[in-house]
Structure formats: C-alpha cells, structure tokens
Amino acid sequence: MNAERSKKLYFEAHELAVGYNGSALIHDIEISLEKGSILTLIGPNGSGKSTILKTITKQLDRIKGSVLIDGQEILNWQPKQMARKAAVVLTERIKPELMTAWDVVALGRYPYTNMLGMLTPEDKEIVRESLEKVNALDIAAQEFLTLSDGQKQRIVLARAICQRPEIIILDEPTAFLDIWHKTELLDILREMAHEQEITVIMSLHEIDLAAKVSDYLMCVKGDRIAAFGSPEEVLKTLPIEELYGMDSGSYNVLFGSVELKKTEGMARVFVVAGNGCGIPFYRALQRKKIPFSTGILFENDTDTQVATKLAVEAFITPAFELPGDEIYRAAVKALEKCDVVVDAGTPKGSLNEMNSRLIAHARDRAMRVLNEICELEGV
C-alpha cells in the first residue's frame, strides 16, 4: 500500500435519500470514503443497490441529501466535468453499431478532446494502455457487437479506465465473467485503488469476493442501510442469512462459501473425518440427500466449518486438547445407529487417536466401512 496514501475524505454522501418519481425508497444513506478506498454494496436483488449507484452518478435525481466528491457538491456539475472526475460502468448493455472494441474504449477520451473530438497521439496511447490493462489488445479490432458478454464487460471497463478518472462506479462488474476474469478484474480495481488512488464504488453479488477486495461493505436492505463498515465488522455483526432473508442454506464467513440446506432426518451414515478430508464426503452425502453424523472433529478443523452446517450431528472437541471419553462414547453411540461408516482418510495421530478407535469399532461390529466417494452409490 502507498505509504503516502491520504486519509482525507474524498467521497461523501450525507442524509441521502434515493428513489423514483420523487418517492424515496432508501433513506439516510451515509458514506464517507478516503481517496483510493474500495466500497462494495451487497444485498438481495431489488434492494436498491443500482438505484444508489445511479443517484450518486447523477443518472437519477436524488430525493434528498448531498453528494460530494473531493469536497465539492456535484449537483450542479456539467456532464463533461463529471466525466473527468468519475467513470461509470452500469449494467445496461451498450449497443454501438459498427464500432470496434478500440472505438468503444476510445470513447473514454472524449471528455478531454476538443470540439471536433479528435484524439491526440497521447490519447491513442492511453486507449492502447487501457486495452492492455484488461488483456484485450487481441480483440481491439473486432466489432464490439460480435464479442462475448465477458469480452464486452472487459472492453467497457477499459473505456472507464481510459477516462483516467479519480473515482470509478461499477454496477455488477463481474457479471458474465468466468472465475479467471472475475479475479483479474478485481485485481485491476485493487491495483487502481492502491497504486493510483482511484476510489472505487461498486456492487457485487459474490459476497466472498466482496469481502476480499473491499475496504468497506455497505449492506442494502429495506428502506435503510443495514450495515456499513469494514468487511470484518459487517460480516461479524450482520449474518448474511439475515441480509438475504435465507430460509434455507447458510453462509460461512470464514470460508466465504454458501452451503445448501442440510438433509434432515435420522443419520444413516457416520463420517470419521478431520483435516478437511471429510468435506468432499459431506457434500456428496448432502447432494444425495442422505442424512449423516460426523466426528470426532476439533473445533478449529476445516471440516468443522462445513460439518456444523450440513451434518445432523457433529461431535466436536476443543482445539489442541485430547478428546475426552465422554465425547468418544457419544460418537460411538451415534455410529452404531448408522448403516454405513465412512473413513474419510484423515491422517491419524496422537491427538485424534479416537478416530482410529471409531473405525476399528465399526469393523469389529462388521459394519460396512467405505473409503471412496464413489462407494456411496447405493447407500
């Protein structure tokens, strides 16, 4: 991070109310961002994320409040003045006829051209650099409308970069992108924020990526902002299940992953797991809608994070301590009620010796013991 990075507030919104036709949908929005920071809006579809972004970019009239960039109220800014400060990438798909990808990116330089709109050699070099930034030089000569959705998204981002803005606002910029280009795009935005001190405000549906790339998260739900702060603060205080109104399934903050609804009922399979070896079996059983129990797991084990969401019962012991006889007896009792035992292949050591005993106990009782996921067929 740039050691000289300024802590002065660069983007502010105070008592902002947004909506349509003079009717406010969301009230009392407060945003304070330092130059070069990244804010990501998260929340369910239709919650108003796009409405907020369109309002702070003057594409929608605000209902109430103020929006300041670098200490200046933007209400009376002319379009060219706004374009020199802020670049905008919204979800609406542009449909330029007979324009190449290079032509579309070059549109980002027009706030800086003369009345004839002529590009200087410097402008053309900035266009080239912007295409290179998003790894799109190879498609620069192609007609824009012939590109894939993912390629179009990269070109539109290059156009925004080409404006050389101080702030960039993006609505779902990772839509239509595969995982490689998603991470690449977010890396680009992070680099722009930290190395060029460009302030980034965007919306994302990928909560895990939002938490990793953002300095601040804003949770949008209902007629107020549900939470605003660092990702650590927000995800600790506001359960994602509550934000999205999830009736089933769960979100794991530690892993940044979504788990589908657990299979209810009496456990038919007992998974002896640990060290992350159990997770593939948990998910395979969940897909097959087979209820299962698992153990003995330490509370800091990666398997524990998924087991608590998907297992009917998980036998968990404190970290860095030898499990006691009580939890072993409880695990044995649960194991004996199952039809099948899975040995997930967890390395056995002195601390988890009881898991070896569980497997031996199952074999002594002539229970069916499986070692591979493919063996779950017919369970």
Residue 2 pLDDT level (bands cut at 50, 70, 90): very low
Query: Strand order of the sheet with strand 23-34?
Result: 23-34, 9-20, 64-69, 72-73
Residue 249: predicted pLDDT = 74
Specify burial of residue 114 (Cβ count, 10 A radius: 0-12, 13-18, 19+).
exposed
Distances (CA, A) of 159 to 156, 193, 295, 367: 5, 17, 53, 64
Residue 141: predicted pLDDT = 95
Closest by Cα among 253, 280, 285 to 269? 285
The residue that leads in pLDDT, 158 or 95, is: 158
Residue 91: predicted pLDDT = 67
- The answer to whether the predicted template modeling score (pTM) of the entire model surpasses 0.85 is no
Q: b/e per residue, 214-227, with b = 16+ CB within 10 A?
A: bbbbbbbbeeebbb
Q: Give backbone dihedrals phi and psi of 29, rounded to 5 degrees, phi first.
A: -80, 125
Residue 175: predicted pLDDT = 83
> Does the structure show a pLDDT above 70 at 309?
yes
Enumerate domains of the chain plus CATH numbers: 9-246 (3.40.50.300), 262-370 (3.40.50.720)
> Does the structure show a pLDDT above 50 at 3?
no
From 109-113, 283-287, 364-368, the region with the lowest mean pLDDT: 109-113
pLDDT in tens, 127-184: 999 999 888 999 999 999 999 888 888 899 999 999 999 999 999 998 888 888 888 8
> Does the structure show a pLDDT above 50 at 4?
no
Contact 324, 298 (CB under 8 A): no
